Chain A
Amino acid sequence: MEPQSHNPRQDTASKLSDTLRWAFELDQSPALAGATWLTREIIPDAKDPFDAILAAGTSLDALRELKNAYKMLRTTGVTAAERSLAARLYAATIAAAAVRHKTAISTQNAAALKRAYTELAEDDSMPEALRDIASLALTSQPPEPR
């Protein structure tokens, strides 16, 4: 294979385009855009937050980092819709760690967790698989913290 020729014009234009494009998209973004961007910073090949949380291959460490990211977005999101979504994703990461890894990654008390799982399980705007994992967490034994 022949080496690709270096084109400084394309490099510069491409970098400028990228910066301008993401700034424009962030300026226009719906609630999911921020959470998706955050998710890909932690799991680069994730399609979206739901995909990352539900994937069987997502490690406990990755779930913990996702949880911390969504936890911050829960309070710093720019719209109520974004903060609400982040709260659901936050609960979902804790539920996924509990169900798939049998590990508690949150220090929240049992009552608060039960409330968060219940709200997620009953939220019909969330994907069904995410709601299912919250339902499973509600019925499973409380995991050991690790």
Chain B
Amino acid sequence: MSSHRNSSMTQTNWDLIRDAAGSTPTSQASLEEVARRSWPAIYAFIRASGRSPDDATELTQGFICDVFLSRHLLEKADQSRGRFRTLVMGSVRNYLADMHRRKTATTRRPKHGSIGRLDDLAERTSEPAGIPALTPEAAFNSRYVASIIRATTERLQRTLLEQGDEAGWEIFRLRVLQPSLEGTAASYDEIAPRFGLGKGACAAKLLLVKRRFAAMLMEELRATVDDPADLHSEVADLLALLSR
């Protein structure tokens, strides 16, 4: 992971998009970061709109290059700052309507630098089962939250391992991540002896790690709203959207 990735964790999405659309030494890194954060949700929206996987990949790349980098999104953002999620979803919807009208299929390239990393990102974007059966809005919101959770998880792992807390990471992985991926959690009786802990101490350690994860997740979400006071209503909205 690049040092830029680490420093960008405290940047808002607006900062990143501005930098990505500019010509600064960090523009390329910001573009890659914006693409990394946004790609899954944008792709999911387009795929759930009825496009094939190949078309959805092409349109996602086109959206990121055309809209993020041409400053269209920035102009809207400056006119009406608010929630990154709703602005991006609305922009993708408009973009698809525009593309449908123009029927263009040329591959788009950013004005500066290579898009090799974007292509890599597209190849690495696995499509969860069921996306085509969702509404575009549901697909977008689901992948949007999943992307934020994944980014937070990667950050947590990096932080814990850098601090030498392999036990903390492993306990979190086995008790929290594994159940969400495979449906079953390892028992404390299996985990605790591996780290020379009792069940109670192991649970207390997990509570500490979960709290760090929660703090990091809220920090990630805070970067997606212009006003920190909007964080709680954004989380409430996301929970409501996911429960539909």
**Residue on A with the closest CB to B208?**
A76
The docked-state distance in angstroms from the alpha carbon of A34 to that of B208 is 9
Q: Cβ of B200 and Cβ of A68 under 8 Å apart?
A: yes
Q: Any chain B CB within 8 A of the CB of A66?
A: yes
Interface check B25, CB cutoff 8 A: no
Residues of the B chain whose Cβ atoms lie less than 8 Å from the Cβ of A66: 200
* A20 lies within 8 A of B239 (CB): yes
CB distance from A49 to the nearest CB of B (A): 12
Q: Are A12 and B128 neighbours in the complex by a CB distance under 8 Å? A: yes
Contacting pair A41 B188 (CB below 8 A):
yes
Number of interface residues of B (CB under 8 A): 35
Are A16 and B198 in touch, CB under 8 angstroms? no
How far does the alpha carbon of A36 sit from the alpha carbon of B142 in the complex, in Å? 30
Per-position contact with A for B198-232: 1 when CB-CB < 8 Å, else 0?
11110111111011011101100000000000000
By a CB distance below 8 angstroms, the chain B residues around A34 are 207, 211
| Chain A residue nearest to B133 in the complex (CB) | A9
Q: Is B89 an interface residue (CB 8 A)?
A: no
B99 interface residue (CB < 8 Å to A): no
Shortest distance in angstroms between B148's beta carbon and chain A's nearest beta carbon?
9
| Cβ contacts A to B, 27 pairs, < 8 Å | A8-B128, A8-B129, A13-B138, A13-B242, A16-B242, A17-B242, A19-B149, A19-B180, A20-B145, A20-B217, A20-B235, A20-B239, A20-B242, A23-B210, A23-B214, A26-B214, A27-B215, A34-B207, A38-B203, A41-B188, A41-B206, A64-B200, A65-B199, A65-B200, A69-B203, A70-B200, A73-B204
